[in-house]
Amino acid sequence: MADIVGISNLDWTLSASEISQETDKLIVRTRKVYDQIGSLKQEDVCFENTIKVLGEHMAYHKTMQSILEFPQHVSPDKEIREASTLSDKKMSEFEVEMSMREDVFSNLVSLQQNKKEPFKEPESERYLERLIKLGKRNGLHLSQEVRDEIKEIKKRISDLGIDFGKNLNEENTILEFSEDELAGLPSEFIESLDKSEDGRRKVTLKYPHYFPCMRKASNPQTRQTLEKAFNSRCLKENTAILEELVELRQKMATILGYPTHSSYVLEMRMAETPEKVSNFLSDLTQKMTPLGEDDLQSMLELKAEECKELGYENDNKINGWDLRYYMTRIEETKYAVDQNKLKEYFPLSVVTEGLLNIYQELLKLKFEEIVNPPVWCDEARMFSVKDAESGKLMGYFYLDLFPREGKFGHAACFPLQAGCQLVDGSRQLAVAAMVANFTKPTKERPSLLMHTEVETYFHEFGHVMHGLCTQAMYPIFSGTRVERDFVEAPSQMLENWCWEKEPLKRMSSHYQDGSPLPEEMLHTLIKSRNANTGVFNLRQILLGSFDQAIHTRDKADTASIMAQLSQEIMKVPVTPGTNMSASFGHLAGGYDAQYCGYLWSEVYSMDMFYSRFKKEGIMKSDVGMLYRKCILEPGGSLDAKDMLRNFLGREPNNAAFLESKGLQVETLA
């Protein structure tokens, strides 16, 4: 570890018992820092003994926390995953306790009120303001009795969120199908599935199995069985958790003087109020509904033809288990995109090389792979990141791209060490990990990516770059620590490279002979971008509307609310006995009352892409460097609206967003 500069604290070799011991040590060290600040006399409080001390400690604390808590998502060892989960719970409870330190809060308020002149750095002023704002949102200006109640609620919320995620990570349902029941799926996919004793094929509910089946299995009974199982994952335990979370969040919002949990959350977001979000979602629903109805009608026509041809009964409606299948069929028939043929041109190794080269060129960076890196499993790779012009080391990133038992089931970027300034004026290097679940290679063929997975790869790696390029002073503003309804915008903007001719050529070639992606296939792929636009975006609106619906009331019957909204917004009934929200990890993992941020931030992502890159050149490094400087480097040290204004040279608008959806250009509410 010592020969890799700047990550001496990042140790992935801790045993389960060592994780427990280090958790206790970190708690002791952190409590000592808070005790030190809290015991200061108000007349002695100054920048050096509060803000500077907190900033320095949090740089260390967040890195150590990553070492202790990240393994629950990626370690191949179940005992270590369980120890990491316990550490997460213990640290989360401790953080709740520290966030309720009225003595520390009072000294911060005193510092703000009594300082004779502003701090040298505007970011230090912002840090102090943020700490005080967070203190008030924790009720530190209220009575001891109320603070104690809030503390207990927050601890319970933290524990429930961790349990929700653990249940999903450990979920391991396996269904068995005959090869006839898997008709429509490529033979190589079927051959890759394990066999049971009676020769049936084993299908898990993990992404590399579930999504190919839902897109290509022509037997509706197979799809129905899978979809019901998928949307019943952790049904009993996680439905109870989510509904308790709704009650606890609303209870805390009421105590703090907010009408709803949504009001409490959105106060710190670009959207600001539930009313603005409601107007945004309802206006977009109205605009998208005609497109969605057209999509459903096209699906019904395809379903009628196929049921007649294959001899299946036609119920004359699009069910939950039909949706992805007929979305794929629309792509294949209307746009001539054969996803299984297309993925032969996207072997993971080629995509990775192309993606890394594009990011390096665009942002003027240099990546170098570390040989024999210190990692948590053999599949993970590690790279250093340097500024291409100065050669200055900026940090490191990891790639962990294949599924394993107990591993985090989605694709995500985990910031492991915050890029920030240390007390001696040096910078702590940024470190991040991209975790995904792409199909594993076999003896017969390498890992091949669906185009949607290429898009996911670009998106999540965009978050990695946000973390690595940051120049923020404090961990609280490092990298992706921006307003939650802006955090997706930089990554969403970079998805556009997956729909442009030059980048697509650079990250594709046939896995067998290295031949380039044929021009006709390339053209049809790009043209297909707006395939299923109505249905796809209505589903995003549904999820955002569901999130707002449950977080603007005291209690929520999540299954019935999801069923009602699905019928109203998408015109697609939910499968009886299921509750998709029991596996809607975002709502237990930090996106509560703000899932709409994906659509909200997409407005800004499209404005950035079309106004600058598409106009001036998508591989133009001058624009890329301006983007790095104005959007990535500040982290959360500036308001998102100011960063956008700096990059665009004007106020942002939604014209590009509406045009990208095939809609008439006018201002959204």
Active site residue ranges: 460
Residue 150 carries which side chain, given as an amino acid letter? I
Task: In whole angstroms, give the CA distance from residue 281 to residue 269.
Answer: 16
Q: Which residues contact 280 (CB under 8 A, 6 or more apart)?
A: 271, 596, 599, 600, 668, 669
Q: Which residue has the tokens 């290295």?
A: 514
Q: Which residue has the tokens 């933290």?
A: 158
Q: Which residues contact 218 (CB under 8 A, 6 or more apart)?
A: 183, 184, 306, 310, 325
Q: Which residues contact 120 (CB under 8 A, 6 or more apart)?
A: none
Could you tell me the CA-to-CA distances from 159 to 153, 241, 374, 469 in Å, in that order? 10, 10, 30, 33
Task: In whole angstroms, give the CA distance from residue 482 to residue 21.
Answer: 33
Q: Cα 584 from chain centroid? A: 12
Q: 376: how many CB neighbours lie within 10 A of its CB? A: 20
Helix (H, G, I), strand (E, B), or coil: what is residue 51? helix
C-beta separation of 60 from 130 below 8 A = no
Helices first, then strands: H and E counts in the chain: 27, 9
- Which two three-digit tokens encode residue 566? 């699905």
CA angle 603, 607, 610 (to 5 degrees): 135
Task: In whole angstroms, give the CA distance from residue 358 to residue 363.
Answer: 8
φ, ψ (nearest 5 deg) of residue 5: -65, 135
Q: Which of 348, 382, 388 is nearest to 624 (CA)?
A: 388
Residue 527 carries which side chain, given as an amino acid letter? K
Task: In whole angstroms, give the CA distance from residue 539 to residue 324.
Answer: 12
Residue 13 carries which side chain, given as an amino acid letter? T
Q: Cα 13 from chain centroid? A: 26
C-beta separation of 655 from 665 below 8 A = yes
Q: Which of 625, 656, 642 is nearest to 496 (CA)?
A: 656
Q: Which of 458, 448, 460, 451 is nearest to 408 (CA)?
A: 460
Task: In whole angstroms, give the CA distance from residue 352 to residue 339.
Answer: 19
CA atoms within 13 A on the CB side of 241: 26
| Sequence-separated contacts (24+) of 249-255 with Cβ below 8 Å | 249/157, 249/551, 249/592, 249/593, 250/551, 250/553, 250/554, 250/555, 251/153, 252/150, 252/153, 252/154, 252/157, 255/139, 255/142, 255/146, 255/149, 255/150, 255/153
C-beta separation of 137 from 110 below 8 A = no
Task: In whole angstroms, give the CA distance from residue 141 to residue 136.
Answer: 6
Pairing of strands 412-417, 430-435: antiparallel
DSSP string, 213-248: HHHH---HHHHHHHHHHHTTTTHHHHHHHHHHHHHH
